[in-house]
Structure 1
Amino acid sequence: MATIDLVYTRLRAEERLIHDALRRRDCVVHMHQDADLVLSLDKRPWSESDTVLMRSMSFTRARYLATFLEVKGARVLNSARAISTCGDKALTSAALAARGVRQPWSFVAFDEEACLAEIERRGYPVVTKPVLGSWGRMVARIDSRSAAEGILSTRFGTGGAQDHVALVQQYIDKPGYDLRVYVMGRAVGGMRRRSEHWITNTARGAVPERYEVPAAHAKLAEEAAAAVGGDIVAVDLLETREGEVYVNELNHCVEFGRSIEQTGIPLPDLIAEHVLGVRR
């Protein structure tokens, strides 16, 4: 009988459904709240299980826990490398670039004036993002020099060192939606997220619906997952009005609580099957 350790922050619908899917497969599941974990920094095994499903909502906790657990001999899904790469948008872009995966052009800058000069050279509109963050928070579209000056002044004038890394990306004129493809070794399904706003996160009110993933989209998403070393990832794609498709971001802790009923994709079962398949 397989034994899996599941690390979580809060028992959301996602974690409960994954737990139940594993149990239906005669799997023993040990649940661990990330805030309660205390790990010695040595190679002594942490658990009788050799496989950990990392569902921590905290990027910081997830990458450190995955790193320490790998030192102790556990196979962590996703790996520390995948979590660290997906959780940092600049590192994600670098990993995609290294493998030649199609994405919007982007650049990073560390000085306000240098960043503004590069935006002016490339032209408006552009999108600026924090390198760390989720759910579309602090993502801004910049349409003019005056807007750029205001946003960059705030970004470089507040916060810590991590906030002073400006990631600027090509603005993609989407036809009212973006696309999310779930990859677990292969593309297993996807959803379209519709919104009248140019930010199309379900956390920001976008309406999810299922879409049949065409082969070209599946191949691009699988290439992106391979570039970051992801076992279980959601790949966000941007499609232009002309039908060109680019990888935007990747998510290492796949969320589906707001969309599973609309899409009908059995993600808990797919995740459980993948985890047990990797373990075997």
Structure 2
Amino acid sequence: MRRHEVHLVYTRMRTEERMLVDALRGRGCSVETHADTDLVLPLNREPWKDGGPVLMRSMSFTRARYLSSILEVKGARVFNTARSIATCGDKALTTLALAEHDVPMPWSFLGFEQDACVAEMEQRGYPCVTKPVQGSWGRMVARVDNKHAAEGMMSMRFEMGSAQDHVALVQQYIDKPGYDLRVYVIGGAVGGMRRRSEHWVTNTARGAVPERYDVPESHAKLAERAAKAVGGEMVAVDLLETRDGAILVNEINHCVEFARSIEFTGIPLPELMAGYLVEAMR
């Protein structure tokens, strides 16, 4: 590859970003890093920098969505694409993309008014889960066990925040066997981890213990189908396993984080991501 060809956009230079920079440089790439707070981009087709590929690592969904869209108009190839970021960063749009491609997932619905949402939860039955359409790390995710809890949660959802926050995403509660599964898809499935916790929310950010698991072919194919549905090239697909062994897709993450898990899984994600980017640009 030519030198000075890869650009990495970041919010904070975390462990993940430093490892990715090292992995890219180890493959002979020069990497220019750009803090998303410093980027002011004109809304035109004028090429940006040298036109090289962009690895989008902004922690802000809003910044990542807009920056990737602008850079693609300017001719850059962005990993992941603006479409993929916009879809994965919105849980409702992710669910719609999965539904469009017949990917198995928990039932879910979207509502815009408190009484209507409570009535739908009453009809479908408890427990169920409510979560924001945008957000990560298990924040503001709540289990709803009865009508009183439903009324309280929906009241908070529709009375707090701005008008754009007044959207309720409600999902089937899956009684997991003490863990969920994450499959890393870098072009194709490359490995995975099991996140084990006594709490029903199994995010590592919420204290779940990561451990490696050998991804069966059926899980790998399901994760690849899910990634294809959202147009993701380098994503993490979260799977839920029911007590009877069925596997459902829960969410898809467009900015793969691995600092908390890489020492447990042993999967060389930075090298795999760097290798995929280099091969994709040839």
Residue matched to 1:202: 204
Residue matched to 1:23: 25
TM-score by length of 1: 0.99
TM-score by length of 2: 0.98
> Structure 1 counterpart of 2:258, which letter?
F
> How much has 1:163 moved relative to structure 2?
1.7
Aligned residue among 63, 66, 79 for 1:64? 66
User: What is the aligned-residue identity percentage?
Assistant: 70
> Counterparts of 1:183 and 1:228 in 2: how far apart (Å)?
12
> Counterparts of 2:72 and 2:113 in 1: how far apart (Å)?
36
Matched residue count: 280
> Counterparts of 1:228 and 1:277 in 2: how far apart (Å)?
21
> Structure 1 counterpart of 2:52, which letter?
D
What per-residue deviation string (whole Å, max 9, x for no partner) do you get for residues 223-255 of structure 1? 000000001000000001111000000000000
Which stretches of structure 1, 4 residues or longer, exceed 4 Å deviation after superposition?
none
> How much has 1:266 moved relative to structure 2?
0.2
What per-residue deviation string (whole Å, max 9, x for no partner) do you get for residues 109-167 of structure 1? 01101100000000000000000100000000000000001111011111112221100
Q: CA RMSD in A?
A: 0.7
Q: In 2, are the aligned partners of 1:5 and 1:49 still within 8 Å (CA)?
A: no
SS at match of 1:262: helix
Aligned residue among 5, 8, 11 for 1:6? 8
Residue matched to 2:256: 254
What per-residue deviation string (whole Å, max 9, x for no partner) do you get for residues 190-223 of structure 1? 0000000000000000000000000000010000
> How much has 1:184 moved relative to structure 2?
1.3
SS at match of 2:83: helix
Residue matched to 2:35: 33
Aligned residue among 235, 238, 246 for 2:237? 235
Residue matched to 2:222: 220
Pairing 1:165–2:167 present:
yes
Pairing 1:133–2:135 present:
yes
SS at match of 1:174: coil
> Counterparts of 1:76 and 1:278 in 2: how far apart (Å)?
11
Aligned residue among 112, 115, 124 for 1:113? 115
Q: In 2, are the aligned partners of 1:112 and 1:156 still within 8 Å (CA)?
A: yes
In the alignment, structure 1 segments of 5+ residues that lack a partner are: none
Pairing 1:178–2:180 present:
yes
